[in-house]
Amino acid sequence: MPELPEVQALAERMATACAGRVLERVDVLSIPALKTFDPPVQALTGRAVDAVTRHGKFLDLATDGGPHLVVHLARAGWVHPRASFPAKPPSRRGPLALRLVLDDGSGFDLTEQGTTKRLAAYVVTDPGQVPGIARLGVDALAATPEQLTALAAGARQRLKTFLTDQSVLAGIGNAYSDEILHTARLSPYALAASLDAGRLARLHAAIGRELGGALEQLRAVPIEGLKSEKKADLAVHGRAGEPCPVCGDTVRSVNFADSSLQYCPTCQTGGRVLADRRLSRLLK
Ligand SMILES: [Zn+2]
């Protein structure tokens, strides 16, 4: 799933490509992806693109004097820049969800792989009208040490849940939460409210280092290379069975909630192997 660094890098690339351009056409190829009907999609067309920004993991394309097009790429969505488009209208079958055509003939295809379609697009007069944006907590990259301390003190969550809860900290998903906890040398199962000042300082530094570092690297990569660059850069996420790059211990995977997480026992849990906390198991 694209997280804060990738979505920020995508927004910056789109902003550059759209500078001074008019949105000539927006094709909605996946009808279920469009979550709003008023204003209509057509209200976007013929308008200059004002800015492309990010809120949490949402992309926000603002038009001059018109509505915003807000997109959440979900787990398998992506943005592909196109220099031009074929004259033939695209098929409604396939991964293409939305097509944005600019007045110079270039633009973007927004696609979603897989059978579970979660990519969501909204046409709104204010991005705050998107429920997922209205709920967002503090932007993870902008959170100050004081904000993080206050959020942790008020949370009754384990660190893995705390970091990925968009209403607490916006922008962190499954991959970067694993990386942040590994860098901070903290157990994903530790309770957020139990962290002392030293651990909170480590967590804050790790958030900045992981997200900021990833963003710096991704800014140097073309859009099509962002996903492979992210993968190559991960120390523990998706690397179960491989040696930890810090200590050489074997990276472990454990089921947690409705997903799995990866961690290094030596770096993060005092050598202890974590027990399964899958939601389905707990419900039995
Ligand atoms: Zn390690």
Instruction: Find the 266 Cα to ligand 1 centroid distance in Å.
Output: 5
Instruction: Find the 166 Cα to ligand 1 centroid distance in Å.
Output: 27
- How far apart are the C-alpha atoms of 235 and 206, rounded to whole Å? 13
Instruction: Find the 3 Cα to ligand 1 centroid distance in Å.
Output: 24
Instruction: Find the 184 Cα to ligand 1 centroid distance in Å.
Output: 11
Task: Using alpha carbons, select from 241, 245, 282, 238 the residue that is nearest to residue 260.
Answer: 238
Instruction: Find the 12 Cα to ligand 1 centroid distance in Å.
Output: 34
- How far apart are the C-alpha atoms of 70 and 63, rounded to whole Å? 11
* 157-210 per-position pLDDT tens digit: 999 999 999 999 999 999 999 999 999 999 999 999 999 999 999 999 999 999
Cis amide bond preceding 39, omega within 30: yes
Local confidence pLDDT in tens for the 284 residues of the chain = 899 999 999 999 999 999 999 999 999 999 999 999 999 999 999 999 999 999 999 999 999 999 999 999 998 999 999 999 988 877 777 899 999 999 999 999 999 998 888 999 999 999 999 999 999 999 999 999 999 999 999 999 999 999 999 999 999 999 999 999 999 999 999 999 999 999 999 999 999 999 999 999 999 988 888 878 878 889 999 999 999 999 999 999 999 888 899 999 999 999 999 988 776 555 54
Predicted pLDDT at 284: 47
Instruction: Find the 1 Cα to ligand 1 centroid distance in Å.
Output: 24
Phi and psi based region of residue 238 (left: phi greater than 0; alpha: psi -120 to 50; beta: remaining): left
Instruction: Find the 203 Cα to ligand 1 centroid distance in Å.
Output: 16
Instruction: Find the 205 Cα to ligand 1 centroid distance in Å.
Output: 18
Instruction: Find the 59 Cα to ligand 1 centroid distance in Å.
Output: 34
- How far apart are the C-alpha atoms of 111 and 268, rounded to whole Å? 37
Instruction: Find the 199 Cα to ligand 1 centroid distance in Å.
Output: 17
Q: What is the pTM of this model?
A: 0.93
Instruction: Find the 234 Cα to ligand 1 centroid distance in Å.
Output: 13
Neighbour-count burial for 211-230, b at 16+ CB within 10 Å, e otherwise: beebbebbeeeebeebeebb
Instruction: Find the 142 Cα to ligand 1 centroid distance in Å.
Output: 28
Instruction: Find the 66 Cα to ligand 1 centroid distance in Å.
Output: 51
